[in-house]
Amino acid sequence: MNVSVSNTGSVDSIPKKAPKSKADVKLLKSNEPSDILEHSLTFIQMFGYIVGVEFKFDWKNNLRFVVTKALVFYFWTQIFYTHYRFSVYDNFVRNFELFAIYGITVSAVLKIRCFDSYYLNITALCKSTLKIYKQNGDARGKPFTDRLKAHFNLYKFVASMSIPVTILYVYYPVKSFLIDGEMVQFVPIEFMFIDQSTLLGFLVTSGIMATLGVYAVFGTEYMALTFVALVMNYGPRVDILEENFNELDKLWITNSTSAINYKHSFLVNICRKYADMREYINEVKLIFDQKIYIFFVFAYLSQILCLYQIRVNNWIPGYAIAIGFTIEMTFYCLMGTKLTVESERFCQIITQSRWYTYDQWSQKMILMLLGEAMNFSELSIGPFAALSVYTATEIFKSIYSYYTLMMEVM
C-alpha cells in the first residue's frame, strides 16, 4: 500500500527530439504509462521544434526561435504599411480585412510571449506528471495506460484539425491561380518594395505568406496541444486520490486504536496531494489565463469582421480564418469544462467515501478538504466568464448577433 505518493517532483529527462530509431518507435507499443506519456510529449514537441521551442529547463533562444520572432515582427510591419496604403488611397473599407487578421498576429505574439516567459513552468508541470506515472505505473498500470492512450488519440485529433483548415485557406487562391488565371492574395497585405500585380511579385508574396502560414500552424498546434496536455494530465491525479480514499475507507473498517496515527497520517497525505493539485492548476492559470483572455478578445472581433467581409466583399479566405478561430476557441472551452468536471468528480469522491466511519478529527479534516474542493478556481476568460462550453455557445451567439447588426447598420 502506497501512502506517500507526491504529485510534485522532477525527473532526469524528457525526450528532446522525435524518435528516429526502431527502439524509439516501439514506445507506441509499450504498455508502460511513463513510456506512453513520453511519446505523447515527443509528439507535441515535434510541432515546437519547427518554431524553436522545447520541453527543457536549460532551453535557450536559438536560431529557429529567433526566425519565428523575426517573421512575426516582419508581418506586423507589413500590416501597418498596408494600413498606411489603404488610408492614402482612400480605400478605408478594406481596413476591415486587416482588422480581421489581427486575431492571427496577436495570437502569434501571445504564443511567443507565453513560451518565452513560462517555459520553465511548462517543463516543470510536464516532468512532475511524468514522475507520477513512473511512481504509480506498476500499481495502476492498466487504468493509466488506457487513459494515456485515449489522451494520445486526442492529441492526434487536435493536430489533425489543422489539415482541413489549411486546405480551406489555400484552396481558393491556388484554384484561382492555376485554373482561372487570377492572382488572388492569401491575405490582403501590401508588402514593401513588391509589386503584387506582376507574376513575380505575386509568387514572392505567396511564398512569404506560405512560410508565415507554416509557422502559424505549427506554433498554434504546439501551444494548443500543450494546453490540452496540461489539462488532461489533471485527471490521473484525481484517480490517485480516488484510490487513496478507497484505501482509507478500508483502514477505518478495523477499529484498532493502535493504527489511529497511521490513519491520520494517511489522511494528511491525501490533503497534501490535493494541495499539490491546486498548485498545479494555479500554475496552469498563471501560464494561460491572461493569454486566453487577450486571444478571445481579438479572435472574437476577428470572427465578426471576417463574416462581414465574406458577405460584403466575398473575401473567401476569411472562411478559413473564422473557422480556425472557432475550432481553437472551442477546444480551449472544452478543456475548461474538462477541468471543472474533474474537480466536481473529486468532490463526489469525498462525499461518497465512508467519512461517517472516521473519528471526529478525521471528519473535520474531510469537511475542510471538501470546502477547499468546492471552492475550486476555474480557468477563466478574464473578468467575463469561466472557460467552458456554455461560455463558448454564448460567445458564438453574440458573434452572429454583432455580425447581423453590422450588416444592418453599415
Show pLDDT as tens, one digit a residue, over the chain (410 residues).
Answer: 343 434 444 333 344 444 444 434 444 455 688 888 888 999 999 999 989 998 888 888 889 999 999 999 999 999 999 988 888 876 777 777 788 888 888 999 999 999 989 999 999 999 998 888 888 766 566 778 888 899 999 999 999 998 988 888 888 889 889 998 888 888 888 889 888 889 999 999 999 988 988 898 999 999 999 999 999 999 889 989 999 999 899 888 876 665 888 899 999 999 999 999 999 999 999 999 999 999 999 999 999 998 988 888 888 888 888 899 999 999 999 999 999 999 999 999 999 999 988 989 999 999 999 999 998 878 999 888 899 999 999 999 999 999 999 888 87
Cell of 96: 476591415
Q: Parse the chain into domains and list their residue ranges.
A: 22-409
- pLDDT for position 188: 81
3-state secondary structure the chain: CCCCCCCCCCCCCCCCCCCCCHHHHHHHHCCCHHHHHHHHHHHHHHHHHHHCCCCCCCCCCCHHHHHHHHHHHHHHHHHHHHHHHHHHCCCHHHHHHHHHCHHHHHHHHHHHHHHHHHHHHHHHHHHHHHHHHHHHCCCCHHHHHHHHHHHHHHHHHHHHCHHHHHHHHHHHHHHHHHHHCCCCCCCCCCCCCCCCCCHHHHHHHHHHHHHHHHHHHHHHHHHHHHHHHHHHCCHHHHHHHHHHHHHHHHHHHCCCHHHHHHHHHHHHHHHHHHHHHHHHHHHHHHHHHHHHHHHHHHHHHHHHHHHHHHHHHCCCHHHHHHHHHHHHHHHHHHHHHHHHHHHHHHHHHHHCCCHHHCCHHHHHHHHHHHHHHHCCCCCEECCCEECCHHHHHHHHHHHHHHHHHHHHHC
CA distance 1 to 51: 45
CA distance 368 to 345: 17
Which amino acid is residue 238, in one-letter code?
V
Cell of 122: 511548462
Torsion angle in degrees (nearest 10) through CA of 366, 367, 372, 375: 140
Cell of 80: 501597418
Q: pTM for the full model?
A: 0.86
CA distance 151 to 116: 26
